[in-house]
A and B are shown apart, each in its own frame.
Chain A
Amino acid sequence: MKDAPLHILLIDDDSVRASVIDEGLREAGHSRITVITDMRQLLRQIVEADPDVIFIDLENPNRDVLEQMFQVSRSVPKPVVMFVDQSDKASTEAAIDAGVSAYVVDGLRKERVKPILDMAISRFNAFHRLREELHRTRQALEDRKIIDKAKGILMKSRGISEEEAYALLRRTAMNESRRVADVARSLITAVRLLS
C-alpha cells in the first residue's frame, strides 16, 4: 500500500451502516474518508472527491452509474469495494479473482473492513499491472511487425542490408524525435499511397 494516506470514498444512503464502515476504517488506521449519503448529483460528488478507492453498497442502484463513469472519464478506474450486509456462500476471493472488485459478504462487521480493503486494492493493482503489461506486449509485437515491414521496403527499394535499413529508420527517428515504429508506419503509409 502507498505511504500517502488513502482517500476513501464511502457511498451509502444508509447513514447508520455508513458510520459502521467509517468507524471500521478509522480503527484500521485510515483517516481520509469522505462519506456520501445523498445520491443526487453522484457523479459530480465522486469527481470532486477524486478518491483512491470507493466503497459502495452492493444494493445501491448507482453501481451502473459508477461503471459508466469509469468508461467515459479518462481518469484511471478506482478499486471499488462492494458490500452487502447479509450472509451468502459467495467467496470474496473468487469474486476478486474474476476481476470483479471485492464483495464483502457474510455479514458486515467493522473488523472485517480492513483486510477486505487491503485485498481489494492489492488485487486491483495486480489486475491493472497485468492489463498494462498485456497492452505493452501487444504494442511491442505490433511495432516489431511494422518495423520489419518498413525494413523490407527499404531493403528492396534502396538495395541495402537489413542492418542498414534499420539504421536508416533509427537515424530518421532520432532526427525527427519520433519513435522508430512511427517512422516505419509513415513509410508504409507513404508507399501505399504512391503505389
Chain B
Amino acid sequence: MQADIERIGARDASEDGSTPLTLGFIPLVDAAPLIVAKEKGFAAAEGLALALARETSWANIRDRVMLAHFDAAHMLGPMPIASTLGIGHVAVPMIAPFSLGLGGNAITLSPAVYEAMEAAGAELGAGPAAMGRAFAAVVARGREAGRGPLTLAVVHPFSGHNYELRYWLASSGIDPDRDVRIIVLPPPFMVDAVLERQIDGFCVGEPWNSLAVEAGAGVIVATKSALWRQGPEKVLGFRADFAERSPETLAALLRALSKAAAWAGHAANHAELSLILAAPAYLGTSARIIARALSGSLVRKSGSPPSLVPDFLVFHDHAANFPWQSHALWFYSQMVRWGQVPYAPGLADTARRVYRPDLYRAALAGTGIDLPRASAKVEGALKTATPVASRNGAMILGPDGFFDGRLFDPDEIEAYIASF
C-alpha cells in the first residue's frame, strides 16, 4: 500500500547544482504561491529545486517542519506563534518571514440554518453585522426552544478560521464557548458532516466553501475579507534555526515566492492558475470552482448568480506578502482572548518576533518590490486606500477595516483585549 504523500518534482532536485528544498502544503487555493513558484519556474530562476509535499493535516505540517522533514511549509498564520510559545504542543521556535496572502476564507452555514436566518431578516450578500444579527436570532430561538447548541467547525484551534469565526460570533452577541459549539474537523469532511447534520456550519478556506455551495450543503454568509478587509491568513513557516543556517537559501525562496505571488495575483493569469491548481497532484478539484476564489466572484448559494467580493483573496497587492508584526500580535491577542494562553508582555514580545519583516526586507532589498518602513501598523485604521511611507517614497495600502469598526493598536494589546 502506498501512502499518498506526493513528492512532486523530488526527482528534479539538485541534478543541475541547484539547491533542493522541500516544502509542505495543504491542498487549498492559498497554497498557490508555492505551487506557482515551482510550476512557473520562479524557484528555478533563483537556483532552487523545489519539491512540494502534499499533506493532509496541519498537525503534520507543523511536526514535519519541526523534524526538518520539510525546510518550510504553507502554514496557518497563528501556527508558528503557537509552536514558538509552546501552546498546544511542544515548544519549537519557528519564524514566519513571508505572508502567503490575505483573506480567502469564508463562513458557510447549512441551508436549514440559513433559511431560519432569512426568516429572521437575513438577505444573501448582506454584511457581517446584519448576518450576525440574524444568526444570533436563530441561536436565541434554539435556546428558548430548549434545543442543544448549534455546532460549527474550524480547521485547527490555532487558525485564522477559529479567530475570525469567534470574532464574528462575539461581535454579534453570541458567546462562542457557551451559545454554540466549535469543533475541529478536516476540510474534506465538512460537506458530508453538514449533510449528515453533525455540524451546522464551518469556517474554512477555499475551495471548500464553494464546494459546499455546489453540493447544496451550505450558504456562504460571510467572507473573511468582509470581517477584516486585508486580514492575514497563511504564512511560510520555517524552523527558527533555518534562517541562521541557510540565510541565502531563505532569501532566494522569498524572492521566488514574491514573484510567484505577484504572478498569481494578476487577473490575466487566473485561468491558467486555476488549471495548474486543479491538477490531481495539487488540489485535485474542478478548475471552475477554484476560479471563483481567484476572481473573488463567489456563488453564495446554490443556483444564485455570482457576486464580486472585493479583496476576497489577495496574493500580492496591498503589501500582502509583508509579515506585519501587528498581524502576529493580533493573533496573539486572540489566543489570549479565547483562553489559549495567558497575557504577559514577554509572551507578546515573543509572539511579535515570530514574524520577521527584517528577513523579508533583506531578501527583497535588491528587487523592485516596495518595502514598508514600519514593521507594525494600527490594524483597521485605513478606511480607504492610503499611501504609507516606504523605501520608494510611498506605497498604497488598501482599506483594512474590521467590520465592527474596532482598531487594533499593537502598542495597546492589553487594552484591546480588555475592550471585548
Partner pick for B3 among A59, A62, A99, CB 8 A cutoff = A59
A68-125 interface (Cβ within 8 A of B): 68, 71, 84-86, 88, 90, 94-95, 98-100, 103, 108
Known A41-B198, A65-B186; contact A100-B1, beta-carbon cutoff 8 A: no
Does A140 sit at the interface, judged by CB under 8 A?
Answer: no
Contacts of B66 in A (CB 8 A): 98, 100
Does B309 sit at the interface, judged by CB under 8 A?
Answer: no
* Number of inter-chain CB pairs below 8 Å: 82
Determine whether the beta carbon of A61 is less than 8 Å from that of B3: no
Determine whether the beta carbon of A43 is less than 8 Å from that of B67: no
Does A17 sit at the interface, judged by CB under 8 A?
Answer: yes
Partner pick for B157 among A68, A88, A103, CB 8 A cutoff = A68
Does A1 sit at the interface, judged by CB under 8 A?
Answer: no
- Measured between alpha carbons, how far is A72 from B192 in the docked complex, in Å? 24
B48-88 interface (Cβ within 8 A of A): 56-60, 63, 66-67, 69, 88
Q: Which residue of A lies closest to B155 (CB)?
A: A64
A120-137 interface (Cβ within 8 A of B): none
Determine whether the beta carbon of B90 is less than 8 Å from that of A61: no
Partner pick for B58 among A16, A59, A64, A103, CB 8 A cutoff = A64
Distance of A154 from chain B, by nearest CB (Å): 30
Contacts of B63 in A (CB 8 A): 95, 100, 103
Determine whether the beta carbon of B88 is less than 8 Å from that of A58: no
Contacts of B92 in A (CB 8 A): 98
Does B143 sit at the interface, judged by CB under 8 A?
Answer: no
- Measured between alpha carbons, how far is A63 from B189 in the docked complex, in Å? 13
- Measured between alpha carbons, how far is A59 from B63 in the docked complex, in Å? 13
Q: Which residue of B lies closest to A61 (CB)?
A: B186
Determine whether the beta carbon of A100 is less than 8 Å from that of B3: no
- Measured between alpha carbons, how far is A41 from B198 in the docked complex, in Å? 8
Does A60 sit at the interface, judged by CB under 8 A?
Answer: yes
Determine whether the beta carbon of B188 is less than 8 Å from that of A90: no
Determine whether the beta carbon of A86 is less than 8 Å from that of B90: no
Determine whether the beta carbon of A85 is less than 8 Å from that of B3: yes
Does A164 sit at the interface, judged by CB under 8 A?
Answer: no
Determine whether the beta carbon of B57 is less than 8 Å from that of A63: yes
Does B5 sit at the interface, judged by CB under 8 A?
Answer: yes
- Measured between alpha carbons, how far is A58 from B67 in the docked complex, in Å? 14
Contacts of A182 in B (CB 8 A): none
Additional A-B contacts beyond A60-B56, A64-B156, A85-B3 (9; CB < 8 A):
A40-B193, A40-B198, A41-B198, A59-B56, A62-B186, A64-B57, A65-B184, A67-B59, A95-B67
A-B residue pairs in contact (CB < 8 Å), sample of 30: A14-B1, A16-B1, A40-B192, A40-B196, A43-B183, A60-B56, A61-B57, A61-B188, A61-B189, A62-B57, A65-B183, A65-B186, A66-B59, A67-B156, A67-B184, A68-B156, A68-B183, A71-B157, A84-B5, A85-B1, A85-B2, A86-B3, A88-B69, A90-B69, A94-B67, A95-B63, A98-B67, A98-B90, A99-B89, A108-B1
